[in-house]
Homo-oligomer: A and B are copies of this chain.
Amino acid sequence: MQRIQDSFDRQSMMSTLGATLVSAGDGKVVIEAPILETSQQQHGFGHAALTFAIGDSASGYAALSLMDDGMEVLTAEMKINLLAPAAKGPLRAVGQVIKPGRRLMVTQAEVFDGDTLIAILQGTMVPVRAS
């Protein structure tokens, strides 16, 4: 958890979006973010990039939670289906590892706005040795 919190804290984008790491461990990570006035699209809803940001990060840290110390994680690819507008906030992303692996980890994430599922993500993470 501490390793993931440290990495999370070094991401200035997470701070810009007001995101916080709620929990992390054993292949599952939860991240929350409000819909700041600075994170909106043209109709005042949360921007798709906000939803992507926390869904992708929750996925990546879920993968990192299963890796050895001294490893880091890169997103190779991520697909998002947007289901409903991000209307109220806070948004909550729940990422988990579907298939761990030494070379690739496949992840899924759900993003909620209150009780409403607003996005699902399916992606691939790559473990890399920390430099």
Q: How many copies of this kind of chain does the complex include? A: 4
Q: Which of A7, A37, A42 has the most CB of B within 10 A?
A: A42
A122, B106: Cα distance in complex, Å? 13
Chain A contributes a number of interface residues (CB within 8 A of B) equal to 46
20 additional A-B pairs beyond A52-B56, A78-B80, beta carbons within 8 Å, are A10-B41, A10-B43, A11-B41, A13-B38, A13-B41, A16-B38, A48-B56, A48-B75, A48-B78, A74-B82, A77-B80, A77-B81, A77-B124, A79-B79, A81-B99, A81-B124, A83-B106, A98-B120, A103-B103, A106-B120
Binding site for B on A (CB under 8 A): 7-8, 10-13, 15-17, 37-43, 47-50, 52-53, 56, 72, 74-84, 98-99, 103-104, 106, 108, 117, 120, 122, 124, 126
